[in-house]
Amino acid sequence: MEKTIDESVQGSALSLEKKNTNSRKLYIESYGCQMNFSDSEIVASILSNEGFNTTQELKEADLVLVNTCSIREKAELTVRKRLEKFNAIKKDRPHMKVGVLGCMAERLKHKFLEEEKIVDMVVGPDAYKDLPNLIQEIDEGRNAVNVILSKDETYGDVAPVRLNSNGVTAFVSITRGCDNMCTFCVVPFTRGRERSRDPQSIVDEVNDLWEKGYREVTLLGQNVDSYLWYGGGLKKDFAKASEMQKATAVDFAQLLEKVALAQPRMRIRFSTSNPQDMTLDVIRTMAKYENICNYIHLPVQSGSNRILKAMNRLHTREEYFELIDNIKAIIPDCAISQDMITGFPTETEQDHQDTLSLMEYVKYDYGFMFAYSERPGTLAERKLTDDVPAEVKKRRLAEIIELQRRHCQERTEQHLGKVQEVLIEGTSKKSEEHWMGRNSQNTVAVFPKENYKVGDFVMVRMDDCTSATLIGKAVGYSDNNV
């Protein structure tokens, strides 16, 4: 049927409008944990439906979003400096809008808009689906804020737009929030109570990633071992679930198995594990499936029982050793890494020695170490005095970093002479002629490119190393290569 003139005019007006709206540019910067980087990909997806394309160029941005971190004071100061810079740019580009997302948005809420007036929009981690409305508000000249925490939001139905991706490795978020209430930690306040994402939507996302050429996923959560799907809702409400829901619930070991079976060639990693929640089932599932990598990030925070208790970490040093022994018995070549805090309130020299001796026992492959930073609103801030002097925190931190460096070197050397599978992620930072990838234990390996390409699974002979990088030579494709 022939179109009437009216219809065709309307049609072209519509496509013109769509083209105009599609030309808006979003510049997004992320700070803090992997979860924040993953959330930014959800935000980019929600906004692409609103006609925003992402850009890497700040100077062409119509909307600048900063996904922020509150974990330590320093993280907040870094973000503040960036916000001041964006505010200065706005003087020359008044149409540019600035929004703050994530944990600082949640923690400081209206303060940004009312007292400081350096941003146009404040959006907490559970409110990203409200972004279309909030953007309309700021387009109409009003400030916008939504920091409501949710009981069931997991963004399971949002397909993330991959940002700064190497096209090979991707994050897949599986839980949100945290119920643990470690006394030093701000996360339960900024990200709310723990809830798990529908396993089917996780498997669908992993399948889709495989189709698009991705070869490794990291399942993300503040405490992945505590994953429990029973049909929606908060983890703490599981006791109230129906018998049917309880009978069909999926825990983390079962989720790992589902993902491993769905894509038997996809490498699977996960982060972060909390010692108090990691089960033997999870370790056995790791051992059972070749494609689940032999690496566990298992933060301990301190080696002293007294400090662990004050931190509300619900395990002892001895129980932690038992877990480490079980991991090593079931997966002998499993790499383990830590997070450690020095100078928690009341920490004595003896507590610090306990941390060093715990590290000697485990000999971690890698570590992330921090000086205690008091966070407003946490239990430690309310109940304890931040009484370890800054220079003592600094000296103890330097000592654990030095010990970790030695262990890292020893662990890296253990791979020498072996032929291991490496997934190629991209060109080495130090040499155009070398590829960079990781072995199952997450150790970085570099080797001459030859005819291999990004995304290949390659067998690499490890000939040499620095303290944290293996230097090798490819000897052929892995059986896993596609």
- 72/74 Cα distance (integer angstroms): 5
Q: How far is CA 272 from the centre of its chain?
A: 8
Q: Which C-beta is closer to ligand SAH: that of 108 or that of 187?
A: 187
Which residue in 467, 424, 413, 477 sits closest to 447, CA to CA?
Answer: 424
Among all chains, which residue has been given the structure tokens 């995304």?
455
Residue 465, marked binder? no
Burial class of residue 277 (count of CB atoms within 10 Å of its CB; 0-12, 13-18, 19+): middle
- 123/140 Cα distance (integer angstroms): 17
185 scored as a contact of ligand SAH (CB under 6 A): yes
Q: Of ligand F3S, ligand SAH, none, which one does residue 267 interact with (CB within 5 to 8 Å by kind)?
A: none
187 scored as a contact of ligand SAH (CB under 6 A): yes
Among all chains, which residue has been given the structure tokens 């699974």?
457
Q: Which C-beta is closer to ligand F3S: that of 194 or that of 216?
A: 194
Residue 408, marked binder? no
Strand order from edge to edge, sheet including 97-102? 52-54, 24-30, 63-68, 97-102, 121-123, 144-146
Contact 40, 52 (CB under 8 A): no
Strand residues in 224-365 grouped as ranges (E): 228-229, 250-251, 267-271, 295-297, 335-342
Judged by CB under 6 A, which of 187, 209, 362, 423 binds ligand F3S? 187
Q: How far is the CB of 311 from ligand F3S (least distance, A)?
A: 8
Strand residues in 344-418 grouped as ranges (E): 366-371
Q: Which C-beta is closer to ligand F3S: that of 187 or that of 474?
A: 187
Among 183-191, 403-411, 421-429, 464-472, the segment contacting ligand F3S (CB under 6 A)? 183-191
Strand residues in 294-392 grouped as ranges (E): 295-297, 335-342, 366-371
Query: Contact letters (x/-) for ligand F3S, 212-241, by CB under 6 A?
Result: ----------xx------------------
Among 179-187, 197-205, 349-357, 412-420, the segment contacting ligand SAH (CB under 6 A)? 179-187
Q: How many residues belong to the site for ligand SAH (CB under 6 A)?
A: 17
Contact 415, 443 (CB under 8 A): yes
Reduce the DSSP state of residue 336 to 3 states and report it: strand
184 scored as a contact of ligand SAH (CB under 6 A): yes
Site for ligand SAH in 63-82 (CB under 6 A): 71-72
Among 148-156, 174-182, 347-355, 365-373, the segment contacting ligand F3S (CB under 6 A)? 174-182
Among 185-193, 394-402, 456-464, 474-482, the segment contacting ligand F3S (CB under 6 A)? 185-193
274 scored as a contact of ligand F3S (CB under 6 A): yes
- Secondary structure element (H or E) that encloses residue 380, with its range: helix 379-383
105 scored as a contact of ligand SAH (CB under 6 A): no
182 scored as a contact of ligand F3S (CB under 6 A): yes
Contact 431, 448 (CB under 8 A): no
Q: Which C-beta is closer to ligand F3S: that of 223 or that of 428?
A: 223
DSSP 406: H
Reduce the DSSP state of residue 239 to 3 states and report it: helix
Residue list, annotated binding site: 33, 69, 103, 178, 182, 185
Give the footprint of ligand SAH on this chain (CB under 6 A).
Answer: 33, 71-72, 184-185, 187, 222-223, 272, 299, 301, 339, 341, 370, 372-373, 375
Residue list, annotated binding site for [4Fe-4S] cluster: 33, 69, 103, 178, 182, 185
Give the footprint of ligand F3S on this chain (CB under 6 A).
Answer: 178, 180-182, 185, 187-188, 222-223, 274
